[in-house]
Amino acid sequence: MPVERLPVSPQKAATGGQPKTQDLTPKTDEFWMEEALRCAQRGLEAGEVPVGAVVVCDGRIVGRGWNRNLTDSDPTAHAEIVALREAGAAVGNHRLEDCELFATIEPCAMCAGAMVHARIRRLVYGADDPKAGAVHSVMAVLNHPQLNHRIEVRSGVLAGRSAEVLQSFFRNRR
């Protein structure tokens, strides 16, 4: 191998002579939840109920979503559904077995059902939704004893901020 013919100057190496490597240090749940909160903020700016979600696969985001019900006149356009659609397209598979979903609020029955269809491996969410939550608050669509697929769940991550975004939205509407 002609090593002597690869004269990489120190300056070139420092200014992009090498491909930018991906930062593969494991991220915390809180890190991804910050991304989901940013999505919720995008929803808020669009006048939507501010809920956000991201789908993470192999340490990177493959889907982002915020509510688009009003924007798209679409009753199914919840943050989680939007993020799952984007993730499926990005991964090239309707099964997302290696993926985790981060949502600011406990998913509803529709979104929990979609996660089961997608075979999502793990769900992390912020605040409980006592009105529509389908992980445990109102019903248990996720990990229903008669469904085969099991999803690991962690709740309460950045819950205070997730709830606050939502509550201030409804306060301001009154």
Binding site for Zn ion (CB under 5 A): 78, 108, 110-111
Q: Determine how β-strand 52-57 pairs with β-strand 99-105.
A: antiparallel
Tokens of 32: 């991804």
- Does residue 30 carry a catalytic annotation? no
Cβ 14 to Zn ion shortest distance, Å? 47
Name the residue nearer to Zn ion (CB basis): 113 or 159: 113
**Least separation, in Å, of the C-beta of 150 and Zn ion?**
20
Selected catalytic residue, list 4, 34, 45, 80: 80
Buried b or exposed e, range 76-111, using 16+ CB within 10 angstroms? ebbbbbbbbbbbbebbeeeebeebbbbbbbbbbbbb
CA atoms within 13 Å, Cβ hemisphere of 32: 29
- Residue closer to Zn ion, measured from CB, 27 or 110: 110
Quote the least distance from Cβ 93 to Zn ion, whole Å: 22
* Active-site amino acid positions: 80
